[in-house]
Structure 1
Amino acid sequence: MIPKELLSKEYIARLTVYADKSYIRATQDFVLFFAREFKFDEIELKKLELITEEAVLSTIENSFESDELESFDVKVSYRPGAFVISIEDKGLPSDMEHLQKNENTALEILLMRNLADEFNIINLGREGKRLELVKYLTETSIADMPSRNEKKLIPEDEQEAATDIPTMRLVQPEDAVNLSRLAYRVYGYTYSSVFYYPDKIRELIEDGLLMSVVSINKDHQIVGNLSLFFEHKEAPVADSGAAMIDPRYRGHSLFKESKKYLMAYAKNHDMFGIYSESVTIHSYTQQGNISLGARETGIMLAYASQSLTFKKIGGERTGQRQAVVLFYLKISQEPHRRVYLNEKFFTLLSNIYQRLELDREVIMVPDTELPEIPQYLSLVSTTVKPDLNIAVISVQKQGTDAIDLIKHQLRELCLKKIETIYLEIPIDKPCSALLAREMNMAGFMLSGIIPELRNGDVLKMQYLNNVTVDPEKIVLASSIAKELLDIIMSDYR
C-alpha cells in the first residue's frame, strides 16, 4: 500500500537510467511494480508494460546521439483517478526528418497514443522535455457496470416522458457512480471517457477541480447534470460542460435551470465568469446559453468525434467531426487588462470583446511591426486526448524559440495522425500578436478567445490535419455564430 502522503507529491518514485536499450526491462519492472499497487488487471498491466517499452525506446532513439551515454528519469505519479508515467530527458529535440522516415518510430508513437488515455508532451525549456503517459484507474469503470437490470431500467424506445419535477443540489463525492450511469443513459459509450470512471470523478470533486449541479427525481435518481471544471482549485473561471439530461426529462428546462444554479454558485464564490462549449449537432444548448446572457467567443471545428450521439435527439451521425461553439458568461467584474491582437484578427475579436463588455483595452499590432520578444526560452506544454484524437498546445511562456517550437510540435502531432490540434496563446504582450500571425501563416486558423483563463485572456487557434469540414452540417443558433463560422472558414484549407 502506497502511503497517502506520497500520492500528493510530485512523484511517487523516480528511476534514473542510462540511454541504453539494456535498461528497458528494468524500467518496465519499475513501472509495473507501482502499477500493481493501483489494482490494474492483467490486461491493463500488459498495456502499461508495452507503453513503457515504446516510450523508453523512443526516448533513447530520438533524444540522444548514438555515441552519447546520457541518462534520463522515469517517474511514476498519481493524479485524481489516474496513474502517470513520466519520462524526462535533457537530450536533443526529436529529429522530425528522422521521425517521418523511420517507420519503427512512427509505430512506437502510434502505439503509445492508442494505449494511453492521455498523452502529454511538455517542453521544460532549459530543463529539457517530459513525456507523460496517463492511464485512468479502471477498477470501477462504468464500462463494466451496466447490467441487464440497468438496461431494463431505461429502455430506449418504450420509455414515457417523466412528469415529476426534479430538485437540484450540488454534487457530492458519493454521487460519482450515478453520474457515470447518467452518462451511459444519455450518450451510450460515445462520450468523453472521464465520465465512465467513477473514482476519477469522485477525486476531482474532492480536490475542488469539479463541481456539478445534479437534478434528482422522485425516485432519488440523478437525471440531470451540469458541471464546472476548474484548471486549479479556486480558479476565477471554470469550464461549464458535461450537460447530461436523462431522455425522460428532456423538455423540463433542466439545462437552463442548472445553468442558473451554477451562475449563483459562481457569484457566491466571487468567480469572474464561466466559459463553455456547445455542440452543433443541434442548437438546444446554444439557445440555452444565449437566453442566459452568454456570448459567443469562437468556434472550435472538428472537436468531437463523429461517433458522438444523443439518445432521443436525432441519433443520426453527421459524417464528420463535430464543431462546438465557445461561449463566455460574465459573472462579476474582472480586472482591467490590455490585450494585443494581430491585424488580421483584430476587427472580429474586438467586436467580440465589445459584446462581452469586459474591462479591456484592445490593441492592434500592425503586420508591419516586429514586437520585441523576451530573451528567454519558451515554456510550452502539449496534451493529447486519444479518446477525442485531438491535441492542445498551450504556450505558458513565450520566448525566442516559440515559433520554431510550435511548428516542430505541430509536425510531430500531424505525424501521429492527430486530427485536430488547438493552440492557446496568452495575449497580454505585443509579441503575442506576432506569434498569432506566424501561426496563422503556418496553417492555424482562428478559433476564438477565452477570457481570464490563466490570469489573463487566451487566443485559441486550430489546425485541421486532413480533416474535412462541411459548414452546412454545423447547426448554429445565432447570426453572430454564423458570421464567426464564415470568417473562420475563409482560412480553411
Structure 2
Amino acid sequence: MAIEDVVPVAAATGVVEQVALGLGIAATDAHRLAAVVRELVGEARARETFSGAADPVVVTARRTGSDLTVDVRDRRMPAVGETYSGLMSFRLARLGFVRDLRFSLGDGNLAECVVAVPGRPSWLDTEQIVAPDAAPADDAAIAGTTYRRARPDDAVALTRLTYRCYEYTYVDQRFYSPDVLARALTDGDLRAWVAVDPVGEVVGHQALAADPNGLVPEFSKLMVDPRFRRHGLADVLADRLLSEARDDGLAGAWAECVANHAASQRTVAAAGGTEVGLLLGASPQEVAMAGFEVADEGRRSLVSMYLPLASQGDRVAYLPERLIPIYRRVVSAMGLQREVTDSDVRPSGTSRLQVSTNAEIGRARVSLDNLAPDALQRIAGEVAGMDTS
C-alpha cells in the first residue's frame, strides 16, 4: 500500500500487525513488527522529496517460505549520507523486535524486515524413536545407505534429524517446523540432498541455502545422525549436491565451518573449498552439536570458505599494492582467473552499502556494493552505530 504523508502512520502499521496476527504470529511479536515498520515509515518520510512532490512511501507485506517480510520503499533522496545503524528502526531490530532488518539502495531506498511465521503444529512420528542405548550403525547399514535429492515429504524426518544432531539449539528455526521446512524445499529456498538408511530414515543432510540478497548461496545445513558419523556420509552428500550445482552452472558457494569442528572443514576442503577468512566469536554460545566432545564455553569462531564451481572467466581486481600478494595466493588456491592491478585511478561517485542485523544470532553485516571515496567513512560510521558496549 502507498501512504501519502498526510495519512497517519498507524494506518500502515495497523494493517501490518493484522497481517502478522492472521498468520499466527504472537500478539507481542506482531506489535513489535508494527513498531519497526512505524519507525521505517517515519525515517522514509524524513527524506527529501524531489521538487516538493508528495512521493508516497510504499509498504508491502509478503509471505515467502517460512517468513513474513515487510518492505518499506521510498523513491526520495537516496539515503547515501545516512548511517543505517544509528536509526531507531535498526536499534529496535538489534533488540529482537524483528528477526532480520536489511537496508539497501537500488530502485529507491529499501528496508526489509523479517519475522518467522510459526509452523502448524506437527508431531514427530513416535515409531521412529531411537533407543538411548542404540548402537552405532553397522557395516550393513552403511552399505545400504542411499542418497537422493531432498523432497518436501522428507520434512518430518529432517526435523527428527535436527533434534538428534542439535537438540534444541539449531539456529535455523525452519528445521524444527516440518510444514515450514517443506515449503522451503518446495519454493527452492533450500536445495538439498539427503542420506537415507535401509529402513527409510533420513540420517544425513546437506543443502545450498539461497542468499536473501540474491548473491552467492551458502553451502550449509550439514547434519549426520550421530549413529552414522565417521563413515563419509558428509563427503558423499557434498559431492552429489555440488556436482548437481555445477551441472546447472552455479558459479560458486560459500560456507562457514565452526573452528573447533575439523570434520566440517575437511568436507568443504575435499569438495574444493578454500579458507578465505576467520570470523571471531560469530557463532552463538547456545548452538551445540550433540555427540561431540568439544569445549562449548562462549561464542565460537567460524572459518569462512569459498567453493568455486564453474568458470567465471577473466576478471580484473584493483587492490592496494600491499594486499596483492595475499589476494594472489587466495585466488590461486581457488583456481580463479584474475588480472590484478594497483591502478591509481580513484573511484568516483558515492558508495552503496547494504546493512543488516539478525538479533537471533547476534550478528550484523555491512556489504559494499559500490566502492567510492567515502567507503571507509561510511563503513566506520555503520560499525560505530552497532557498538553496544
Q: How does the TM-score come out when normalised to structure 2?
A: 0.83
Q: Which of the numbers 23, 29, 33 marks the counterpart of 1:51?
A: 33
1:16 & 1:271 partners in 2: Cα distance? 40
Deviation at residue 196 of structure 1 after TM alignment: 2.9
Q: Which of the numbers 12, 18, 30 marks the counterpart of 1:27?
A: 12
Is the contact made by 2:45 and 2:57 (CA closer than 8 Å) also made in structure 1? no
1:70/1:391 CA distance change after superposition, 3 Å: same
1:121 & 1:16 partners in 2: Cα distance? 20
2:247 is the alignment partner of 1:260: no
2:233 & 2:182 partners in 1: Cα distance? 23
Q: Which letter does structure 2 place at the counterpart of 1:380?
A: L
Identify the residue that residue 248 of structure 1 maps to in structure 2.
Answer: 227
Identify the residue that residue 355 of structure 2 maps to in structure 1.
Answer: 382
1:133 & 1:233 partners in 2: Cα distance? 13
1:393 & 1:233 partners in 2: Cα distance? 12
* Greater length-normalized contact order (CA 8 Å, ≥ 6 residues apart): 2
1:51/1:291 CA distance change after superposition, 3 Å: closer
Question: 2:15 is paired with a residue of what secondary structure?
Answer: helix
Q: Which letter does structure 2 place at the counterpart of 1:114?
A: G
Identify the residue that residue 172 of structure 1 maps to in structure 2.
Answer: 151
Q: Which of the numbers 347, 350, 355 marks the counterpart of 1:373?
A: 347
Is the contact made by 2:192 and 2:208 (CA closer than 8 Å) also made in structure 1? yes
2:214 & 2:5 partners in 1: Cα distance? 41
1:352 & 1:273 partners in 2: Cα distance? 15
1:362 & 1:331 partners in 2: Cα distance? 21
Deviation at residue 145 of structure 1 after TM alignment: 5.0
Identify the residue that residue 100 of structure 2 maps to in structure 1.
Answer: 118
1:400/1:341 CA distance change after superposition, 3 Å: closer
Question: 2:330 is paired with a residue of what secondary structure?
Answer: helix
Identify the residue that residue 133 of structure 2 maps to in structure 1.
Answer: 158
Which string of whole-angstrom CA distances, capped at 9 and with x for unpartnered residues, describes residues 334-363 of structure 1?
311111222343222211122222222222
Kindly, what percent of the aligned residue pairs are identical?
20
2:278 is the alignment partner of 1:299: yes
Identify the residue that residue 222 of structure 1 maps to in structure 2.
Answer: 202
1:147/1:216 CA distance change after superposition, 3 Å: closer
Is the contact made by 2:194 and 2:204 (CA closer than 8 Å) also made in structure 1? yes
Which string of whole-angstrom CA distances, capped at 9 and with x for unpartnered residues, describes residues 103-152 of structure 1?
xx869823664131212122348x3x333221122133xxx6566948x9
1:181/1:88 CA distance change after superposition, 3 Å: same
Q: Which of the numbers 360, 364, 382 marks the counterpart of 2:338?
A: 360
Aligned residues: 379
Deviation at residue 161 of structure 1 after TM alignment: 0.9
2:293 is the alignment partner of 1:314: yes
1:397/1:108 CA distance change after superposition, 3 Å: closer
Deviation at residue 54 of structure 1 after TM alignment: 4.1
1:359 & 1:243 partners in 2: Cα distance? 30
1:187/1:314 CA distance change after superposition, 3 Å: same
2:364 & 2:187 partners in 1: Cα distance? 25
- Unpaired stretches in structure 2, ≥5 consecutive residues: none
1:396 & 1:207 partners in 2: Cα distance? 27
Q: Give 1:439-478 correspondences, 5 Å limit.
A: none
Question: 1:115 is paired with a residue of what secondary structure?
Answer: coil
Q: Which of the numbers 295, 299, 302 marks the counterpart of 1:324?
A: 302
Is the contact made by 2:78 and 2:105 (CA closer than 8 Å) also made in structure 1? no
Question: 1:114 is paired with a residue of what secondary structure?
Answer: coil
Q: Which of the numbers 20, 24, 40 marks the counterpart of 1:40?
A: 24
